[in-house]
């Protein structure tokens, strides 16, 4: 097994899930209505679970540190998350649009990984498929609700958020350092194919939303190489504050 | 302007005015979503059981939100949501149509004194087989 290529893929995916889980959890207790607060928090927990499962696989198969150490003891430049997940939560419109664009990509990735040559990854992909279906259903339903069935303000807010999020969303498909190996060895389909499937699915799922899909191809890159926005370090400080007081503590 | 400093960094980030004395503006009446009744099915083939309700702007969103409120723990195979307005119900002051029902013991299984007869029958059957 090409452990370097596998770790490269897993860190990109796990760090995205971890950081977005933390961002989503910032809504806990502050969500727009009780029911949505609980649903969004649940989705955040699921994302954290995906990250943990990926760190666990890397620990078992790639010689990477324990999941808690991998998640909480790395500095910003060691993180491989995209700029998209680092951005502050903004208002609920932006958080929903990011949730939608990210989760379409997440669904595309994990669906492709069912066919991965790496069995632990393929097994995980089969296990969480239902969960991802729900996340996607949740995100798409809100996009259509606020885009087509809401009012002028909700439509305008969603359209603006979609336009702002788009170049960051495209940054999710920045390649790692082992792209060709991942494709050649059947571990993963690669970022170009992922983006192609993502674009088709975004268009399909937003068909009834009346939202206009941006055509811009500009992408915010750098996250996969360890170059991040200024938003990441404060998030890491806050997220790891308790863990770093005593990393040897058992919980 | 002095802002609220909280142990919760999310609250601190909101830059809420610490000196604010005027109460928040009252919300307009009926600004809430409608409600949907939720029915939960624990096993395939089992009855859907009423478990509560959710606020939502549409049936699709009601189902979506019901999944987390009522299907996030334990076993679930299916959920139904029904707009509360679509539930046909009796008027509260018509409850008297049931007033005399508790007296109609002959409709309760427990009201039939058949235990003695059943025991006698069993005894008879047992004697029959041992002969």
Segment A86-110, tens digit of pLDDT: 999 999 999 999 999 999 999 999 9
Question: Does residue B92 sit within a domain?
Answer: yes
Shortest Cα distance, chain A CAs vs residue B69, angstroms: 7
Q: For the complex shown, is ipTM > 0.85?
A: no
Closest chain B residue by Cα to residue A135: B64
Residue B69 is nearest to which of A38, A137, A238, comparing CB atoms? A38
CB A18 within 8 A of CB A51: yes
Q: Which backbone phi and psi does A206 adopt, to 5 degrees?
A: -95, 5
Instruction: Give A237→chain B minimum CA distance, Å.
Output: 11
pLDDT at A138 over 60: yes
In B, minimum Cα distance to A241 occurs at B9
Evaluate whether residue B124 is within a structural domain.
yes
Which residues form the domain of A79? 3-245
Q: A41: part of which helix (H) or strand (E)?
A: helix A34-61
Residue B11 lies in a domain: no
Closest CA of chain B from A185, distance in Å? 38
* Residues A211/A159, Cβ–Cβ less than 8 Å: yes
Q: Residue B56: how many CB atoms within 10 A of its CB? A: 24
Backbone angles phi, psi at B38, to 5 degrees: -115, 135
Partner-chain contact A145 B55, CB within 8 Å:
no
Confirm whether A125 is domain-assigned.
yes
Q: How many CB pairs under 8 A join A and B?
A: 37
Considering only the beta carbons, identify the residue of A26, A35, A141 that sits closest to B69: A35
Q: Of all residues in chain A, what percent carry a pLDDT higher than 70?
A: 100
Contacts of A70 (CB under 8 A, 6+ apart): A14, A55, A58, A59, A64
The total number of structural domains in chain B stands at 1
Computed from CA positions of residues B116, B119, B123, B128, in that sequence, does the dihedral angle turn out positive or negative?
A: positive
In a domain, A37, yes or no: yes
Q: Is B82 helix (H, G, I), strand (E, B) or coil?
A: strand
Residue A21 resides in a domain: yes
Residue with tokens 């802002």: B3
User: Is the pLDDT at A185 greater than 60, yes or no?
Assistant: yes
Chain A residue with CA closest to B58: the answer is A145
Task: Give this prediction's pTM.
Answer: 0.88
CA distances from A123 to A114, A116, A141 (A): 7, 9, 28
Q: Is residue A97 domain-resident? A: yes
B40 in any annotated domain: yes
- Kindly tell me if the per-residue pLDDT of A160 is higher than 80: yes
Range of the domain at B110: 31-130
Please state the domain count of chain A: 1
Predicted confidence (pLDDT) per residue in B11-31, tens digit: 888 888 888 777 778 877 767
Residue A116 lies in a domain: yes
Residue A251 maps to a domain: no
- CATH number of the CATH domain containing B78: 3.10.20.520
Q: What is the CATH number of the domain that holds A181?
A: 1.20.1260.10
């Amino acid at each position: 097994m090409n452990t370097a290529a596998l770790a490269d893929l897993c860190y990109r995916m796990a760090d995205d899930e971890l950081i977005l889980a933390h961002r989503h959890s910032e809504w806990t207790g502050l969500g727009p209505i009780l029911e949505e607060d609980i649903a969004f928090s649940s989705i955040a927990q699921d994302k954290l679970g995906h990250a943990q499962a990926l760190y666990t696989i890397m620990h078992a198969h790639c010689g990477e540190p324990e999941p808690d150490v991998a998640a909480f003891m790395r500095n910003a430049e060691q993180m491989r998350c995209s700029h998209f997940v680092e951005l502050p939560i903004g208002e609920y419109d932006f958080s929903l649009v990011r949730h939608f664009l990210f989760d379409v990509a997440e669904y595309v990735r994990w669906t492709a990984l069912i066919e991965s040559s790496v069995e632990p990854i393929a097994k995980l992909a089969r296990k969480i498929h239902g969960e991802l279906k729900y996340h996607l259903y949740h995100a798409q339903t809100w996009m259509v609700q606020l885009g087509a069935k809401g009012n002028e303000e909700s439509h305008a807010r969603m359209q603006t958020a979609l336009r702002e999020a788009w170049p960051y969303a495209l940054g999710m498909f920045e390649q790692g350092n082992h792209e060709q190996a991942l494709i050649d060895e059947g571990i993963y389909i690669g970022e170009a194919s992922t983006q192609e499937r993502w674009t088709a699915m975004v268009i399909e799922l937003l068909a009834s939303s009346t939202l206009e899909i941006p055509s811009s191809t500009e992408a915010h890159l750098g996250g996969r190489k360890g170059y991040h926005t200024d938003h990441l370090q404060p998030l890491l400080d806050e997220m790891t504050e308790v863990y770093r007081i005593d990393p040897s503590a058992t919980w | 302007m002095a802002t609220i400093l909280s142990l919760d960094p999310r609250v601190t980030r909101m830059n809420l005015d610490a000196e604010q004395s005027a109460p928040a503006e009252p919300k307009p009446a009926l600004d809430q979503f409608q409600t949907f009744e939720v029915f939960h099915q624990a096993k395939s083939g089992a009855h859907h059981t009423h478990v509560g309700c959710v606020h939502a702007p549409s049936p699709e969103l009601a189902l979506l939100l019901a999944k987390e409120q009522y299907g996030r723990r334990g076993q679930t195979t299916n959920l139904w949501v029904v707009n509360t307005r679509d539930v046909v119900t009796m008027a509260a002051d018509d409850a008297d149509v049931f007033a005399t029902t508790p007296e109609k013991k002959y409709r309760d299984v427990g009201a039939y004194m058949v235990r003695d007869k059943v025991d006698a029958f069993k005894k008879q059957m047992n004697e029959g087989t041992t002969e």
